[in-house]
Amino acid sequence: MKKIVFLAFMATMALTMSAQQELFGGAKGSPQVHGDNTVSFAIKAPQAQQVELQLDFDKPVAMERDTAGIWRHTTQPLAADLYLYNYVVDGVKTLDPDNVYIMRDVATTKNMFFVDGAQSRYYQALDVPHGNVSAVWYDSPTVGKRRRMMVYTPAGYEQGKQRYPVFYLLHGSGGDETAWLHQGQAAQVLDNLIAWGKAVPMIVVMPNGNVDEHAAPGSDQRGLVTPTFAHEQWMEGSFESSFHDIMDYVDKHYRTIRKQSGRAIAGLSMGGFHSLYISANQPKDFGYVGLFSAAIRPGRDVHSPIYDNLEQKLATQFNKDLKLYWIGIGSNDFLYRSNEQYRALLDRAGHRYTYVETTGGHEWRNWRRYLTQFVPLLFK
Amino acid sequence: MKKIVFLAFMATMALTMSAQQELFGGAKGSPQVHGDNTVSFAIKAPQAQQVELQLDFDKPVAMERDTAGIWRHTTQPLAADLYLYNYVVDGVKTLDPDNVYIMRDVATTKNMFFVDGAQSRYYQALDVPHGNVSAVWYDSPTVGKRRRMMVYTPAGYEQGKQRYPVFYLLHGSGGDETAWLHQGQAAQVLDNLIAWGKAVPMIVVMPNGNVDEHAAPGSDQRGLVTPTFAHEQWMEGSFESSFHDIMDYVDKHYRTIRKQSGRAIAGLSMGGFHSLYISANQPKDFGYVGLFSAAIRPGRDVHSPIYDNLEQKLATQFNKDLKLYWIGIGSNDFLYRSNEQYRALLDRAGHRYTYVETTGGHEWRNWRRYLTQFVPLLFK
């Protein structure tokens, strides 16, 4: 009997292994990252007329068919980073059947892989102590909903009694409370920075910035809806004005440092916009502010006291207790010009900030990088 | 400026929406579940020669091409349940480009959808209070590793002071600590059963049963490895003999009821095997035991005191403090015969147990169903 069980397991296992052995001559994993940082892709599609590889940083590349019907492509050496890709088989977008690691961006899914090296080691799960990550439901009386956030507590939190600073980390339009954990690899970034002594242990709170939803698509009563940028309430002040509900919950349920020097807030795109206005409206709450490719101005039809009198609010916010105001953006970002205007406004008022300009545009490659640069500056 | 942002967002959004409108004439979501429980599938593949639909309960079905190059199939009415599927486009396994909901089983990924109704409502996120779910790292000194488990705490846990019973829920071979949450929809099942008054609020602990790994593939220092059934240590006693490390952590860090009547253990396949031997070796620890399509006997070459003298151990375990010993299996399960032999052994010894036989085989459809039947029997 036991023999049958074992044979059944082994047969399934053999099937799994054989697909990859066929593609890469015995090597495991898909794609294959070589020692020189070139990367080989292979997909078996004997009946296909055309197969393309779509890497996240490049135009689609036509793959070449071998005599066994396996389509192949090997890249130039790639910089150490996290990469996404998919295939296009006879015009149909296809995830790699041999790679289970899939990342979602709004309504698009792609496979992922790492090219190992200094920058990508921030993003990988390494042999270091790991923090816990929890999906936490909290009441938001201000918007009248029970909502979900993700909370990272650093390794050691459960064993000790000490209080920790809190970093509120906000997603962009089309994102949700899971975005920084998945696309941003935030738990790995924090685990590694803390283990390497480059960042202090901190709690990271990742709320859902779309006040018309309870939780990420698929995790609330809307069911398996297609994720979208469209929201009934969108950058109109509700999230900012309900933010104290989140802070109240966190300060009540976690061992937090409950003062300005123990709180940071940052976000990407819409989350940068949220961070700008939350911190400007609560000038005594945040010692550290980060705007990653931030949207700056509300829409013309939006009227909320949250967005009124910005310059006056900034004049209050920029004082000796504001330890860091950090602005990062890529030179090709479609928000570059509005960020330039915002920096000019800060300059005119004599407000001091840190500015980091990178290559690239409005993309996760930059936001992950900004996270690795911003976190080491906090709470020191 | 704001206008550009808005236009960029809307353009991306429009792209997302238009794909589905094209497939289904304006209706959202993929696939389309109709009022009569028939389900329509559609994928645009104008260049393809052949497209098949693979549903998880059936043989592959050839889809039909319309004049626009969209391939379609509509099923017969389906019973309310959670279903998985993928397409095969010209011989290549393809996930649905219009469905972001993906479930992994060992090294295979498929898309998911619900047909609404009594059985599937257990599995769906509904408008009920939700428990929190945490990825928790704990030390296991017995195996010399820091390991990860998933912990569900019921809605209200954070607000009160009361103690809760604990249900240890174990995955099968090829699975990991995430299996019951994803494939088993365990958090949704618990949320719903508790909200409907069919189950008492409880903590559910889902450990990783593969002692040679720290955490699920992709979440520890092995990197983005291909998940496999093969483990260096496999059903040879190490997990069972280290289980007290998990219980110690849980009892120390959660408000648990620390006695037999407040503890249950159950699992599927290898996890049923683990539940059988953990509970037999710790006869005073578990008031409730569940074997879901359980493996029964260790391999012939395995020698561990964990597996010795089973009948003697069962004679100790089956006493008045054992409230429930539940065995469930499908009539087509390849483990049916060994379960039959095990029941005969229990019968000969006069040990009383609950037996549920269903249709179907060694499959998640059954294990989800067993969970919905087992949980209401606990801690009452």
Using one digit for the tens of pLDDT, what is the confidence trace for A23-60? 887 666 689 999 999 999 999 999 999 999 999 999 99
Which pLDDT band, with edges at 50, 70 and 90, does B234 fall under? confident
- Residue B137 has its nearest CB partner, among A130, A148, A253, at A130
Question: Is residue A11 pLDDT above 90, yes or no?
Answer: no
For residue A160, the tally of other CB atoms under 10 A from its CB is 10
- Helix (H) / strand (E) element for B367: namely helix B364-374
For chain A, the distance separating the N- and C-terminal CA atoms, rounded to the nearest angstrom, is 62
Q: How far is B46 from chain A (nearest CA, A)?
A: 8
Mean pLDDT of B238-255: 98
Provide the pLDDT for residue A33.
Answer: 96
Q: Taking a C-beta distance cutoff of 8 angstroms, is the pair B329, B268 a contact?
A: no
State the pLDDT at residue A250.
98
The domain locations on chain B are 28-121, 132-377
Q: Is the pLDDT of residue A176 over 60?
A: yes
Of B92, B102, B146, the CB nearest to A45: B92
Query: Using 50, 70 and 90 to split pLDDT, how confident is the model at A237?
Result: very high
Judged by CB atoms within 8 Å, which residues 9-68 of A form the interface with B? 9-10, 12-13, 16-17, 20, 28-30, 43-50
Q: Which residues is A132 bridged to in the sheet?
A: A153
CA-to-CA distance for B205 and A369, rounded, in angstroms? Answer: 35
pLDDT at A4: 52
Closest residue, chain A, to B114 (C-alpha): A224
Q: Do residues B160 and B129 touch, judged by C-beta distance below 8 A? A: no
Predicted local distance difference test score (pLDDT) of residue A2: 47
Interface of B with A in 148-207 (CB under 8 A): 148, 155, 158, 173-174
What beta strand segments (E) does B202-346 contain? 203-207, 263-268, 288-292, 324-330
CA distance B194 to chain A (A): 16
Provide the pairing of β-strand B288-292 with B324-330. Answer: parallel
What 3-state DSSP class applies to B183? coil
**Chain A residue with minimum CA distance to B139:** A129
Give residue-wise pLDDT tens across range B156-179.
999 999 999 999 999 999 999 999
- Angular region, A350: left φ>0, alpha ψ -120 to 50, beta rest: left
Q: What is d(CA B359, CA B292) in angstroms, rounded to the nearest whole number?
A: 13
Q: What pLDDT shows up at residue A30?
A: 80
- As a whole number, mean pLDDT of residues A291-305 equals 95
Q: Which residues of A touch B28 (CB under 8 A)?
A: 225-226
Token digits for A263?
Answer: 């709180």
Provide CB contacts within 8 A for A144, sequence distance 6+: none
Phi/psi for B355 (5° steps) reads -120, 130
Among candidates A102, A338, A362, A357, which has minimal Cα distance to A229? A362
- How does residue B5 score in pLDDT terms, banded at 50, 70 and 90? low
Instruction: Give the pLDDT confidence score for residue B30 in this predicted structure.
Output: 80
Residues of chain A with C-beta less than 8 angstroms from the C-beta of B293: none
**CATH annotation of B28-121:** 2.60.40.10
B106: phi then psi, degrees, rounded to nearest 5: 55, -110
Note the pLDDT of residue A15: 54
Q: Do the Cβ atoms of B159 and B129 come closer than 8 Å?
A: no
Q: Which residues of B touch A104 (CB under 8 A)?
A: 100
3-state secondary structure of B78: coil
DSSP 8-state code for residue B259: S
Please tell me if residue A250 touches chain B, with a CB cutoff of 8 Å: no
ipTM of the complex, rounded to two decimals: 0.95
Cα B160 to Cα B48, B156, B255, distances in angstroms: 58, 6, 10
Q: Grade residue A230 by pLDDT with cuts at 50, 70 and 90.
A: confident
Nearest to B218 among A13, A101, A131 (CB): A101
Tokens 């949704």 identify what position? B188
CB contact under 8 A, B224 and A114: yes
- pLDDT, residue A1, reads 43
- Taking the C-alpha atoms of A116, A122, A123 and A125 in order, what is their torsion angle to the nearest 10 degrees? 90
Contact A158 B253 (CB under 8 A): yes
Dig out the tokens for B72 from the structure.
């379609």
Quote the percentage of chain B above a pLDDT of 70: 93
* B47 within 8 A of B7, measured Cβ to Cβ: no
Chain A residues within an 8 Å CB radius of B217: 100
CB atoms B300 and A29 under 8 Å: no
Confirm or reject contact between B330 and chain A (CB < 8 A). Answer: no
User: For residues A225 and A267, what is the distance between their CA atoms, to the nearest angstrom?
Assistant: 25
Q: By the 8 A CB rule, do A257 and A166 touch?
A: yes
Q: Which of B3, B4, B7, B9 to mutate to test the interface with A (most CBs of A within 10 A)?
A: B9
Measured distance between the N- and C-terminal CA atoms of chain B, rounded to whole angstroms: 62
User: What's this model's pTM, rounded to 2 decimal places?
Assistant: 0.95
**How far is the alpha carbon of A244 from chain B, nearest alpha carbon, in Å?**
18
- The long-range contacts involving B338-345, CB below 8 angstroms and separated by at least 24 positions, are B338/A1, B338/A2, B338/A5, B338/B295, B338/B296, B338/B297, B339/B291, B339/B293, B339/B294, B339/B296, B341/A1, B341/B296, B342/B294, B342/B296, B345/B311, B345/B314
Residue B113's SS3 state is strand
| Residues of B whose CB is below 8 A from A125 | 215, 218-221, 223
Cβ pair A129:B137 closer than 8 A:
yes
What residues of B are in contact with residue A108 (Cβ under 8 Å)?
16, 100
- The confidence band for B18, taking pLDDT boundaries of 50, 70 and 90, is low
Right CATH for B132-377 from 3.40.50.300, 3.40.50.11690, 3.40.50.1820, 3.60.40.10: 3.40.50.1820
- What does the mean pLDDT of chain A come to? 94
Dist CA A31 CA A25 (whole Å): 13
Q: Which residues of B touch A181 (CB under 8 A)?
A: none
* Cβ–Cβ contact A146 with B under 8 A: yes
The CA distance from B266 to A182, in Å, is 30
**Is the model's pLDDT at B12 over the cut of 90?**
no
A224 with B113: Cβ contact below 8 A: yes
| B44 interaction partners in chain A (CB closer than 8 Å) | 92
**Bridge partner residues of B166 (DSSP):** B203, B263
Identify all chain A residues contacting B96, using CB atoms and an 8 Å cutoff. Answer: none
Cα separation, A183 vs A169, whole angstroms: 13
Interface size A-B, in CB pairs within 8 Å, comes to 228
From A97, A124, A146, residue closest to B92, measured CB to CB: A97
| Secondary structure string (H, E, C) spanning chain A | CHHHHHHHHHHHHHHHHHHHHHHHCCCCCCCEECCCCCEEEEEECCCCCCEEEEECCCCCEECEECCCCEEEEECCCCCCEEEEEEEEECCEEECCCCCCCEEEECCEEEEEEEECCHHHHCCCCCCCCCCEEEEEEEEECCCCEEEEEEEEECCCCCCCCCCECEEEEECCCCCCCCHHHHCCCHHHHHHHHHHCCCCCCCEEEEECCCCCCCCCCCCCCCCCCCCCCCCCCCCCCHHHHCHHHHHHHHHHHCCECCCHHHEEEEEECHHHHHHHHHHHHCCCCCCEEEEECCCCCCCCCCCCHHHCCHHHHHHHHCCCCCCEEEEEEECCCCCHHHHHHHHHHHHHCCCCCEEEEECCCCCHHHHHHHHHHHHHHCCC
Q: Which residues pair with B243 in a beta bridge?
A: none
| Strand-strand pairing, A81-89 and A51-55 | antiparallel
pLDDT at B360 exceeding the cut of 70: yes
Percent above pLDDT 90 for chain A:
89
Nearest to A137 among B104, B136, B155 (CB): B155
pLDDT at B6: 52
**Residue A82: pLDDT band with limits 50, 70, 90:** very high
Restricting to A residues 58-117, those with a Cβ less than 8 Å away from any Cβ of B are 89-95, 97-102, 104, 106-109, 112-114
Q: Select from B120, B224, B254, B310 the residue whose CB has the most chain A CBs within 10 Å, as the one to mutate to test that interface.
A: B224
- Out of A90, A107, A112, name the one closest to residue B89 (CB): A90
Residue type, B213: E
Q: Exposed, middle or buried: residue B86 (CB in 10 Å: 0-12, 13-18, 19+)?
A: buried
Per-residue pLDDT of A328-362, as tens digits, reads 999 999 999 999 999 999 999 999 999 999 999 99
**Secondary structure of residue B105 in the 3-state scheme:** strand
Residue type, A224: L
Determine, for residues A107 and B16 on separate chains, whether the beta-carbon distance falls below 8 Å.
yes
What tokens were used for A217? Answer: 């698509």
**Three-class DSSP labels, B297-313:** CCCCCCCCHHHCCHHHH
Residue A312, classified by CB atoms within 10 Å of its CB into exposed (0-12), middle (13-18) or buried (19+), is exposed
CB atoms within 10 A of CB B202: 26
HSE toward the beta carbon, residue A222, CA cutoff 13 A: 15
Q: What is the pLDDT of residues B41-85, one digit of tens each?
A: 999 999 999 999 999 999 999 999 999 999 999 999 999 999 999
Q: Please, which residues have CB within 8 angstroms of residue A338's CB and are 6 or more apart in sequence?
A: A295, A296, A297, B1, B2, B5
In this structure, the dihedral spanned by the alpha carbons of residues B57, B59, B65 and B69, taken in order and rounded to 10 degrees, is 70
Phi, psi of B133 (to 5 degrees): -130, 125
- Evaluate if residue A20 carries a pLDDT over 80: no
Residues in A closer than 8 angstroms to B337, CB to CB, are 1
The CATH number of the domain covering residues in A2-117: 2.60.40.10
CA distance A320 to chain B (A): 32
Distance CA A33, CA A78 (A): 9
